[in-house]
Amino acid sequence: EDVPGGAAAYMYNKVMEEQSGYKYLDVAPRTLTAKANRPGYGSDGDYFAKPNTEDVVRVVKQMMAE
């Protein structure tokens, strides 16, 4: 999603994170969305506004540590 409140992310957040729809999984899932801002043009804007490889790796490592 391009924003934290995008349709799919919003539904996922409500079911999985707020209503504990993850109770049969090993760890709680996490949503990783774009930041709520107007990014710059091109790949520079994507790097700072949208989740990138470093963000995904950081969250995966946190989940593996649980």
Report whether 34 contacts 2 (CB < 8 A): yes
DSSP-derived secondary structure letter, 62 = H
**Model-level pTM?**
0.47
> CA–CA separation, 19 vs 33, rounded Å?
19
Give the count of beta carbons closer than 10 Å to the beta carbon of residue 1.
Answer: 16
> CA–CA separation, 1 vs 33, rounded Å?
6
DSSP-derived secondary structure letter, 13 = I
- Tens of pLDDT along the chain (66 residues) come to 556 667 777 888 788 878 888 787 788 777 776 666 666 666 666 666 677 788 888 888 888 887
All structural domains of the chain with their residue ranges? 7-65
